[in-house]
Amino acid sequence: MADCDCGDKSHAHFADYFSANLYTWCTNCGNYGIHAAMKRALVEENVKPCQTLLCFDIGCNGNGADKIGGYRYHGLHGRTIAFACGASVANSRVKVIAFGGDGGTLGEGINHLVMGIRGNFNVMFILHNNLNYGLTTGQASATTKPGVKMNASPDGITFEPIHPMRFVLSLMPTFAARTFSGDIHHMVKTFQAGLNHKGFSFIEVLQSCPTYNRMTPHEWYQQRVKDVDDLKNYDASDLENALKISEDLEKEIRIGVLYQNKKSMPFMERQKNRIKVKSDLVDEVKAFDVGKLFDKFR
Partner 1 sequence: MNNLNRLTIKISGESGQGINSIGEVVAKALKRSGFYSFGYREYPSLIKGGHAFHQIDFSDHALNSPSRESDVLLAISRVSLHEYLPTLRENGQVLHLVDSPEFSEKEEEIIKAKKIKIEFLPAFKMASEAGGNAIMSNVVMVGALWKHLGLDLEVISELIKEEFADKPDMLDANVACLKKGFDFAFQKLKNLSVNFSKDIKRRDDALLTGNHLLALGAVAAGVRAYFAYPMTPSSSILSYMADISHETGVLVKQLDDEISVAQAAIGAMFAGTRALVATSGGGFDLMTESVSLAAMTETPFVSVLAQRPGPSTGMPTWTAAGDLNLALYSGHGEFARCVLSLGDSDSAYTVIQKAFNLAEKYQIPVIVMTEKQIAESLFQVDKLPNDIEIERSLVEGSDLKNLAPSDRFKITKSGISPRWLPGQADAMFVANSDEHLEDGTLTEEALASLEMANKRMEKLKTLEEEIPEPVLIGPEKASCTLVSWGSTRNTICDVMELWNEKHPKKAFNLLNFEYLFPLRTEKLYTLISKKQKMILVENNYFGQLGNLITQVTGYKFEKRFLKYDGRPFFVEDLLEFLQGKEKIYG
Chain residues binding partner 1 by CB under 8 A are 4-6, 8, 21, 49-53, 55, 58, 63, 65-66, 69-76, 79, 82-91, 93-94, 111-112, 114-115, 268, 271-274, 277, 280-282, 284-295, 297-298
Give yes or no for a contact between 179 and 139, defined as CB atoms under 8 angstroms apart: no
Task: Tell the smallest beta-carbon distance from residue 168 to partner 1 (Å).
Answer: 16
In the three-class reduction of DSSP (H, G, I as helix; E, B as strand; rest coil), residue 256 is classed as strand
Q: Which is nearer to partner 1, 114 or 243 (CB)?
A: 114
With a CB cutoff of 8 Å and minimum separation 6, the contacts of 294 are none
- How far apart are the C-alpha atoms of 226 and 242, rounded to whole Å? 14
Pairing of strands 124-129, 225-227: unpaired
**Helix pair 110-119, 80-90: axis angle to 10 deg:** 30
In the complex, minimum distance from the CB of residue 293 to partner 1, in angstroms, rounded to a whole number: 6
- Per DSSP (E only), the strands in the chain are 52-56, 71-74, 95-101, 124-129, 132-133, 139-140, 175-180, 201-206, 225-227, 253-260
By the 10 Å C-beta count (0-12 exposed, 13-18 middle, 19+ buried), 292 is classed as exposed
Question: Which one, 154 or 291, has the nearer CB to partner 1?
Answer: 291
Cβ at position 228, least distance to partner 1 in Å: 31
CB-wise, 215 or 282, nearer to partner 1? 282
Residue closer to partner 1, measured from CB, 84 or 209: 84
Please, which residue, 25 or 180, has the CB nearer to partner 1?
25
Q: How far is the CB of 136 from partner 1 (least distance, A)?
A: 15
**C-beta of 155 vs 287, nearer to partner 1:** 287
Q: How far is the CB of 279 from partner 1 (least distance, A)?
A: 9
Q: How far is the CB of 44 from partner 1 (least distance, A)?
A: 20
The three-point CA angle 76-82-85 to 5° equals 130
Q: How far is the CB of 286 from partner 1 (least distance, A)?
A: 5
* 129 in Cβ contact with 102 (< 8 Å): yes
Q: In whole angstroms, give the CA distance from residue 5 to residue 92.
A: 12
Please provide the DSSP assignment of 127-158 as one string: EEE-SEETTTTSEE-TTSPTT--BBTBTT---
116/182 with CB nearer partner 1: 116
